[in-house]
Structure 1
């Protein structure tokens, strides 16, 4: 009996434990459910907040755009509408601020509201200035709005606030997961089988979720590391290019100057060795930069007409010294049916051939190198497909290396037995360039008998023969002209002084941008040659002040050791008329100077520089004949001219003579890329200032100027 009572009470005890477990489990379930509901509510609120934040940012950018162009906004968006938009913008920002503030202390929320208030203050000030018709204050405020870009600050802090809210939501979801785990643990008391099943199932889910979170975190870290690595690599390449090209500029430049002096045979040999090794180092730098551009997908192939035999003659002259030194033969020939004038990228084609010929000479001890080109049939009538071959009688390539030589950093020699040097990038660059010209490259080789590299490339048919280049020494005479050379490197200043002295160009020297600004304000110069990286004030800042604050339009050429494509674009955007890369070659810098400071007619003929035959020849030459870039820039010029016309008419209608003068100066900058001798630039010289005495006369003069510019620029506006 006692045993039965014991069993009875034991069952009651277990039943009681079961009931307690059920009640406790239900309580935990309720808590978990409430936590989940709370998490869902927070998720919905977070999504709503994100949407409202996006609307706020969009409205911020819209208002910034409209108030930046206030002079043209009144007709489309009346002042009352803009005022209402500002009111709505401020109201939405306050509502969003209250909603977010209820979530506790949210970082960056105050910064977000400060950015919103800053934009509202500037915008209301612009609105007041527009109502009071205070054009000077309006220009100043719109300029402040354009420079400060408050909408970008609103966007930046809005993203940070959204990330904080998302992190809060993530923590809530993690807490919910913990409640769910506890609920599963107590439910396992009800059934051993259910406990095992739930345990296994929950474990799998938790592990998978944890793995996904870990993977997401690792991917995020890897992405950030990759971005930092890429930025670091780009910065390193740009700095390496600058630091190497700056001393190379002096090394090669003084070497060339020294070679023009009276030297005995031994001195001449030493000088040629210095120059040759300087160019070899420059070739290595160029290979690394080209490889970086190819990796980034920024390789561009130009389409300009060029003469194929002239290019081959250039190659022969380039390698004549080393060919004679190694006592090798060098020959080239072109099949009779191959066109001599084609349209493509001569510099890239030359780069391919230089790499192949250089390798052929490097690995050839006897015999010689032969360059051949023929034509292949094509389906498109407007193109030519040419096949080039470079054959040598050198060491040959082992069969196991044939498939590897076009890979980056691959070389035929082991590091411990290297005799010929090189970066291992040459053939990789060749392969990429050939593929960029719609061709392919291959090699046939036999040990001890030599190698033959063959590649194809597609070119367009050339409509006309390019102007034949003249060789030999330049004979330009810049007597009577004065140039300002701004360069922080003493050796480069000395080089330019000696080099330009040969052409009777009077130069003055400045060591940095600040010194250049002082000199330019004290004296007129016919040309400015300015380095980019300088202490105290760099070239970009200096040219910006010269153009925008001093309103000086003297032609300026950037001398930059940074040759990356984005740096070249930055030169033009900053206000430079042209650029020249370091190390500076004598024919290149004289050619650049002749573009912007032409010598007299007789001297121009002696220098071998032909006068432009058409309105866009100067522009085309400036851009290297790249039609795509020409069309893009012409479209921007036409767009800016439409805006300038309206501004000129507005100033004339208001009888604002200083305003017309400012707009005319801006128009001159708009068309400056067409060259100083373009009809539009010549016309603007005659209309440097408004001459009307009242609004009616200024309006007539304004329409006359616009009509003459439209007539003089037909080619620009139609092309």
Structure 2
């Protein structure tokens, strides 16, 4: 049954066309675009199709042709109706004049039927296509198809797809044509838009400075922009595809670029789908064969869904060849500069050591000459030699430090120390210099700073020493002040601000930024007038930065300068408050001689008393003393002033403390209970207030130091492989009444512990354990001793104290974490050694008669090496001489071992021997030799290729 078709509203006055010809044309069109039915007979089909308004009516043409005569007429009418609803249909004669036009043609172009009949194509065909269209209508060719542009009556453009069929007479002459047109205006519009988008995208890609490639996964390259062809020299995409298999075949495998070209997952790697790539640089040769460097990035785009899903990759290549070359050149320049700097610094370091060697021979000899019998002229000559040698040594030390900083060989330690004690020791060094120049030297070191912090005391002292030295050097009159103030504190850290201020020449604002540069001073006249290398501030700045701070300066030219920095210092577990406030309930009366120097000193005094939380008031006469009921009276004087109203009756009930200028002679004239020399410090004030003895406070520590050493009834095991070190430790322990047991390595130490437990069912009272020993080191020995005591169920574990030259940052904590109880660094400090022994053996202390050291008797007559060792270690000179003899004898053995190891290039043996010599030399005050041995050890451990033989000879020179 045939489907019903809508009415077309045909004008019945219009003559009927030749339907047969129209059907033939429609059938030809339908046969081209429809599929066969699926019933296996493959009949022909008829279909009227518009691409955007699809109407499909199917009919069995074979059935139609074989039906009764009435059927074709009826069917032809139906087909005409189909065509009328889907296509523009016209029939023309042989000259192209319109004989028929269907309703859809007329309506779409806006013409009446009568307006078109007999007219040529120029009525409706666009001038651009008119000649082609008319030729097609008049051509004797059987058929023609194509796209044509029409113009409606209103002038609107209309695009159609033409299917042209010709009608011929029996003689083959053209009778006319039937033209079926489909409106494809929307299709053309979308096609043009798509074309514009494509052109726009192409322009955008071509305008990109980077190479851009679009690739479809599983297909390959879709497009490449202009930059690609310009860079790599291919004519077009076809040329590229003929010469390369894939996009990344153009890239080269290179050691400093990624290997994506050789990975099947390179696109996924770039887009992150298979893990992020660490390096996105690739190498490729351009059209001229030049190897170029690119930075590659990619983005994945997924379009469509299901079976229509397509994945595209947008790959971008940024040519960084120039930037990479510049970076490589900069890196090479930096390496070259580093090599030159290292060579320069190594030369400076070697030369510094070479110069220090004779200087360390000159200075001691000059000091010996000073103590001899010389006339006035000779003494002046010797003084000049000494000052010159010391100045040269100071310069050499600066150069050596600078070279270490430049080469990165400078390390900051992190050890326990007393900051107040270290800073007070520095200021004592400058008292004489300040007094010589007639300038005031004021020092405030906050007494609230705890007794133990962690850091590098040597480098802090070096910075402060440099700043104070500069301040005094550049100040002709007025004052130099040093202040160390506690600015913050919590349970684990303190913050201390250290400042040095002067009233010297100051610095011009334009020169401030340059003063920290090496070998630089504010202007050239300074070095001529004041001397110096211009390294001090540069070294200080670097040291402060290495300690985590910044060295800053405030200065007014002609008025003075202030240098300052802040340090964040961890607190030691053993640290405690310095001041016992509970014992200081006293009222202080202060009398100040009326002059500027006394006033400046008094201002510092007030700061100390405030820190001690003491009550004080300034007094001017006896009546005020009676009124405020003073416990202590402090007189701040600048000469031998005698305060007449301080009579005997006041002296009997008051403690009188006098503060006098440095180097004041005949202090007894002040008739005071204590006399303090300027500059004052917290320790002097604290001791003067609490100590009831009559003395000059500078003597307090000397009195304490001269008291006899404690003696202990204790058994001590010393594990030490260095002969000289064993002798030093034995001397230190003998003076404490202890005869130690020695082990030469860790294995012997473990066996000694086990043997004592086995024989006497007890352990040693303390073990002093060297860390680096042959056979078994101190750390392993400690572990085995602890395990042995654990197995035996010992209640009181034997304290094990590390005895080592490795006093560098973090080592002490490391040893404590391994179960050790304490730490003594080499060279051994006698006071620290005695303190550690007292900490662990205090319960075994004996009451004994004072033992007077014979070193006291010889100290005035001798000034040789043995005397200095005796004074340092607190032993007799005879024992010190014995230690020296042992050391020199052992050195001959170590020297032989050194040379043998150097000849065999046995770096481990070189490091081992150097470690022993470092500790031994340091303990016997051969500090320069100890430093060189440490350098040898460090180089050997780092496997550095240096001249060990020359360094060994330098070491021998220091020991001679």
Q: Which category of TM-score, normalised to the shorter sequence, fits these structures?
A: 0.3 to 0.5
Higher relative contact order (CA closer than 8 Å, sequence separation 6+): 1
In proportion to residue count, which structure has more helix?
1
> What TM-score do you get using the length of structure 1 for normalisation?
0.42
